[in-house]
Amino acid sequence: MRSSSSVKVEVVEAHTSKTKTLKFSLTYYKQNTEGWDGTSRYNDGDPTISFTIYFIASGGQSNAKSTGNLISLQDQGTWSGVATKEIEVPVGTQDIKVCPSVIDKDVLDNDNKSSGNCYTITNVGYLEDYSTIEQSDSKTAIYTLKWEWYLY
């Protein structure tokens, strides 16, 4: 007689299999160059920082959501703290791509200081809940920007 044992196997998918929430936090900003306002009188800029987050399914379909403005500073070159936004993650999301936006808000002109770079984490279905992902906009010399996020 053959004995059988029942072993429960949990299948983990590379994509999200249920609705999740992304908790996104901006944690640090530093202006690394002078003269953002175009005058020698004001060296520090007036940065407004937001992010566009793309939720990408395995078939390539993309759903973009914005954090909205997380901070808006006036004549300030550094900031640290926690500015958060919670965003619902669509079921079936395999990759999360984060694109920072840094706009120097001026009376006459809003200068886009964004690096144009985005940062992607793949196979997010494998991430454990509350496992923090730390990222930074490391491809620009004019500012330093750090943020973190996790799913739950």
Mean pLDDT by 10 residues, the chain (152 residues): 56 82 98 78 85 95 97 94 98 97 85 95 96 94 96 98
Provide the token pair at 83: 């500015």
Q: Which residue has the tokens 């791509």?
A: 97
Note the pLDDT of residue 152: 97
Note the pLDDT of residue 4: 54
Note the pLDDT of residue 68: 97
Note the pLDDT of residue 40: 56
Note the pLDDT of residue 2: 55
Provide the token pair at 12: 């983990």
Provide the token pair at 60: 């390539």
Note the pLDDT of residue 23: 98
Write out the E strands in the chain: 20-31, 47-57, 62-66, 71-72, 78-89, 93-104, 111-112, 119-121, 133-136, 143-151
Distance CA 105, CA 91 (A): 36
Reference 70, options 90, 56, 86, 54; nearest CA is 86
Provide the token pair at 65: 């959501």
Fold assignment, 20-143: Immunoglobulin-like (2.60.40)
Note the pLDDT of residue 6: 62
Q: How many CB atoms neighbour CB 55 within 10 A?
A: 25
Note the pLDDT of residue 5: 56
Instruction: Name the CA dihedral angle for 32, 65, 54, 103, rounded to a multiple of 10 degrees.
Output: -20
Burial 24-53 (b: 16+ CB within 10 A, else e): bbbbebebeeeebbeeeeeebbbbbbbbeb
One-letter amino acid of 54: Y
